[in-house]
Amino acid sequence: MSRIEMAAGCPLGGNGAGPTRFLLGERDGRFAVAADYPTHAVSLDLNSFDASSPREIGGMLVCVHRGEIKLLGASGCWSLAQDYMVYIPAERSYRLMADRPTSLTLVKFTGSETIWPHVGCWAAPISPLAAEMTAFALRWGPYRDPDDALANDFFATLGKLFPIWFEGKRKMWTPFGNAPDMDKAIAFARNHLETASVTDTASAAGMSERTLRRRFKDELGINWRDFINEIRMSEAMKLLGETNSSVTQAAYAVGFNSLGAFTVAFTNYTGKTPSAFAREHRSVRIPHRH
């Protein structure tokens, strides 16, 4: 199996459960969090990568400045666009991939600096403060003095801001189903974005609409409305950022009949209008490094 082919999509079919919902690839030392080093930050500019870990001793903040990455975890798949970040807590299995050039900042926590309010990984837009602090963190690499009080205080402050930076709903995330019928429901919705309704999705999965709504909430931790919005916005971001689709074409492709409604939904989700998002993400931009 080609390592980079795995980066093309998320395995939403039913092969196993829990942590075995995705295959681990090779370990990549550039993403390892090792106890031999103090908490530090590094920058990576890569053409492509495929990095897996059964677990790390510390957590890692991944900031995407250019390109797009995919993260597979126990509960689902994250598709992270430019200007988004994700935190991977300690002791979590993951697979992190990109099949195109990317620029990343990694902050690797080997102490107890972070306050983490969630179970598992969480993604969020990179706020202006997060952008400044993670850029500033790059002055302290893996070989810094572990007794540097300024560095230690800085990383402790950064980690304590996580409850604020990651306080929103889970974003950029598509859950894995935990049973074949839920796998069918997720796959049907993803493959029929233009027309997918809760009624048609329930029928395709062989259950009632009421049962589908209940199981999404109880088993996957997300209601139907949020789920369909997630996969529609994720696809819209891909169309606007990676293809020459117009805003109107993207809106209709992901199931919106009103350009105005799409613009409002997209802006609420990303913080940018569809046209602004397309302009920014279709141009190659190298981030400023301190």
Q: What CATH number is attached to the domain comprising 110?
A: 2.60.120.280
* Tokens (6 digits) for 205: 């999965």
**SS percent in the chain: helix, strand, coil, step 5:** 40, 20, 40
Q: Do 160 and 264 fall into the same domain?
A: no
Q: Do 154 and 192 fall into the same domain?
A: no
Q: Do 22 and 131 fall into the same domain?
A: yes
Judge whether 290 lies within some domain: no
Q: Do 181 and 137 fall into the same domain?
A: no
Distance in angstroms (rounded) separating the CA atoms of residues 256 and 171: 20
Instruction: Express each pLDDT in 72-112 by its tens digit.
Output: 988 888 989 888 999 999 999 999 999 889 999 999 999 99
Judge whether 183 lies within some domain: yes
Domain hosting 263: range is 176-282
Which residues are 72's β-sheet partners?
77, 95
Q: Do 189 and 138 fall into the same domain?
A: no
The pLDDT score that the predictor gives to residue 138 is 98
- Domain boundary among the residues 165, 190, 219 is at 165
The distance in angstroms from the start CA to the end CA of the chain is: 39
**Cβ partners under 8 Å of residue 112, min gap 6:** none
Judge whether 287 lies within some domain: no
Distance in angstroms (rounded) separating the CA atoms of residues 79 and 97: 10
Q: Do 183 and 206 fall into the same domain?
A: yes
- Domain boundary among the residues 105, 132, 165 is at 165
Distance in angstroms (rounded) separating the CA atoms of residues 280 and 127: 16
Q: How many domains does the chain have?
A: 2
> 122-125 and 84-88: which strand pairing?
antiparallel
Q: Do 155 and 186 fall into the same domain?
A: no
Q: Do 137 and 184 fall into the same domain?
A: no
Core vs surface per residue 34-70: b (16+ CB within 10 A) or e: eeebbbbbbbeebeebbbbbeebebbbbbbbbbbbbb
Q: Do 209 and 140 fall into the same domain?
A: no
Rg of the chain in Å (alpha carbons): 19
Among residues of the chain, what percentage have pLDDT more than 70? 90
Instruction: Express each pLDDT in 176-192 by its tens digit.
Output: 888 899 989 999 999 99
- Domain boundary among the residues 165, 199, 226 is at 165
Judge whether 100 lies within some domain: yes
Q: Do 99 and 127 fall into the same domain?
A: yes
pLDDT at 215 over 80: yes
Q: Do 37 and 71 fall into the same domain?
A: yes
Instruction: Express each pLDDT in 191-212 by its tens digit.
Output: 999 999 999 999 999 999 999 9
Q: Do 150 and 26 fall into the same domain?
A: yes
* Tokens (6 digits) for 83: 């200007």
Q: What is the pTM of this model?
A: 0.81
